[in-house]
């Protein structure tokens, strides 16, 4: 008799406990729907307006659990149930309307695959992302070649994500800029390769520095008119070896534009052999130290400590880490593939070479699945991908020859690789011999003219 009483009490307590847990989850899900979508805002997943708690509960009861189902309707996770990344880079387009001399798309034009990622595919990713994840719309192409880019940005912003993009500025007009400011874009970066039209336009063929300046000025005016600080405006500037004599003139140009940040980068993917010399910024370790000292002095003397950042490939160092933050970020290519970094997502249909450490190496892909076959969270949590992210050293596979491991940062351990040093010294010697030959030819011409 006593056992029956205890069994009955246990069943009732357990039933009430389960009821309370389910009611709590239901209320949390309804509240999160309201907070994430906003009051009286149309919900893209339900087609109804969320006007209050009761409406949210009713929608939850109509459409079931917050857990997503394979092949069925995707429902939203609660924030702590989602994957939280520092950032997710989405390549919305692999098309480009420019022909930069250093771009892999120019070098691999014969095997380049032009694709667009559809808004529906991007929308299928969102239920699995924590709302504090920063989403950057950029890849190997020009994002504004996507005809629905503004709609994609609007959708991401309406779901509470921080969103940014990188562009050449050639496809932006005043109406597009006004729309981007109005929808609350968080950041826009403009790619350049010099601070004068003569320098930039020759390297980034098909672009015009004057157009970039016009776009930035228009953004600043629209932001001032609406009393907003967004989008933050960044400059992503490529630094080639041939541009080193001109760097003292750069700060005045940056300050004139009044941008929020400047990132000065060097080539980390060398697609053609003749670009190796442009990627190698110094001949000796002493020259490399002098260049760093020169850049840091340039930043301090012009008051750019909070504006100017460096992302330069060291000609001599090979670090044990990767600059791409693989542990807490991911890249989705225009074909829907999920990869650890942009270096592993070149949209090519055949084998292509790249050049690193003085030699040609075949390009390899590191891909963990496609969002068409699996949802993003399942790909992120699969064991091989998790093990790859947890590696402390990036010394195998594609990472072994990737120049992202040579991007120098402060207070970090590094190793000098003898074979890499030998190959690099061969390049440096060839460059010095070529420079000496040019100097002798110029001297001979001067003596002949005199």
Half-sphere exposure of 210 (CA within 13 A, CB side): 3
Give the closest residue to 98 by CA, choosing from 238, 244, 243. Answer: 238
Contact between residue 241 and residue 278 where contact means Cβ atoms under 8 Å apart: yes
Say how far apart CA 417 and CA 319 lie, in whole Å: 10
Q: Which pLDDT band holds residue 413 (cuts at 50, 70, 90)? A: very low
Q: How far is CA 43 from CA 123, 183, 370, in A?
A: 13, 17, 26
Angle of helix 2-37 relative to helix 53-63, nearest 10 degrees, comes to: 110
Query: Which residue segments constitute the domains of the chain, with CATH numbers given?
Result: 2-80 (no CATH), 82-416 (3.20.20.70)
- Highest mean pLDDT range out of 230-239, 267-276, 373-382? 230-239
pLDDT computed for residue 440 by the predictor: 64
Q: Which residue has the higher pLDDT, 41 or 132?
A: 132
Q: What's the average model confidence in pLDDT over 271-295?
A: 86
Q: Looking at the predicted structure, is the pLDDT value of residue 417 above 80?
A: no
Contact between residue 172 and residue 219 where contact means Cβ atoms under 8 Å apart: no
Q: Which pLDDT band holds residue 78 (cuts at 50, 70, 90)? A: low
Q: What's the average model confidence in pLDDT over 112-133?
A: 88
- Highest mean pLDDT range out of 94-98, 289-293, 391-395, 398-402? 94-98
Q: Which pLDDT band holds residue 173 (cuts at 50, 70, 90)? A: very high
Residue written as token pair 């002949």: 448
- Dihedral angle sign, alpha carbons of residues 318, 319, 320, 325: negative
Q: Which pLDDT band holds residue 63 (cuts at 50, 70, 90)? A: very low
**What's the whole-model pTM score?**
0.73
Q: Looking at the predicted structure, is the pLDDT value of residue 148 above 90?
A: yes
pLDDT computed for residue 435 by the predictor: 59
Q: Looking at the predicted structure, is the pLDDT value of residue 69 above 60?
A: no
pLDDT computed for residue 178 by the predictor: 94
Contact between residue 116 and residue 95 where contact means Cβ atoms under 8 Å apart: yes
């Amino acid at each position: 008799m006593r056992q029956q009483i205890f069994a009955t009490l246990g069943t009732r307590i357990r039933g009430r406990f389960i009821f309370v847990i389910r009611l709590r989850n239901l209320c949390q899900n309804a509240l999160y729907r309201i907070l994430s979508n906003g009051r009286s805002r149309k919900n893209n997943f339900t087609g109804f307006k969320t006007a209050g708690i009761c409406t949210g509960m009713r929608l939850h009861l109509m459409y079931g659990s917050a857990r997503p189902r394979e092949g069925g309707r995707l429902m939203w996770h609660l924030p702590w149930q989602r994957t939280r990344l520092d950032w997710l880079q989405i390549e919305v387009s692999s098309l480009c309307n420019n022909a930069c001399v250093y771009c892999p798309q120019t070098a691999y034009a014969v095997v380049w695959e032009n694709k667009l990622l559809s808004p529906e595919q991007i929308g299928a990713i969102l239920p699995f992302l924590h709302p504090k994840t920063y989403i950057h719309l950029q890849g190997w192409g020009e994002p504004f070649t996507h005809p629905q880019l503004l709609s994609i940005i609007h959708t991401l912003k309406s779901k509470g994500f921080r969103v940014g993009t990188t562009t050449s500025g050639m496809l932006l007009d005043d109406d597009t800029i006004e729309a981007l400011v109005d929808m609350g874009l968080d950041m826009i970066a403009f790619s350049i390769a010099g601070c004068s039209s003569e320098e930039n336009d020759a390297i980034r063929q098909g672009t015009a520095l004057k157009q970039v300046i016009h776009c930035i000025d228009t953004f600043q005016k629209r932001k001032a008119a609406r009393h907003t600080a967004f989008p933050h405006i960044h400059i992503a500037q490529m630094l080639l070896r041939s541009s080193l004599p001109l760097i003292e003139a750069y700060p005045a140009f940056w300050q004139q534009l009044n941008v929020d940040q400047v990132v000065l980068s060097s080539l980390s993917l060398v697609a053609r052999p003749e670009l190796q010399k442009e990627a190698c910024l110094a001949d000796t370790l002493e020259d490399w130290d002098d260049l760093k000292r020169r850049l840091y002095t340039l930043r301090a003397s012009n008051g750019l400590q909070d504006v100017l950042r460096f992302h330069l490939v060291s000609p001599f160092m090979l670090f044990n880490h990767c600059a791409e933050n693989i542990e807490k970020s991911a890249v989705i290519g225009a074909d829907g593939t999920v990869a650890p970094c942009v270096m592993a997502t070149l949209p090519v249909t055949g084998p292509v070479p790249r050049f690193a450490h003085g030699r040609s190496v075949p390009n390899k892909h590191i891909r963990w699945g496609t969002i068409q076959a699996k949802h993003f969270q399942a790909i992120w949590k699969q064991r091989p991908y998790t093990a790859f992210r947890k590696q402390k050293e990036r010394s195998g596979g594609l990472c072994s020859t990737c120049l992202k491991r040579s991007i120098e940062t402060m207070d970090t351990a590094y190793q000098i690789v003898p074979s890499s040093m030998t190959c690099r010294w061969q390049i440096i010697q060839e460059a010095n011999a070529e420079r000496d030959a040019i100097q002798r030819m110029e001297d001979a011409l001067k003596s002949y003219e005199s």
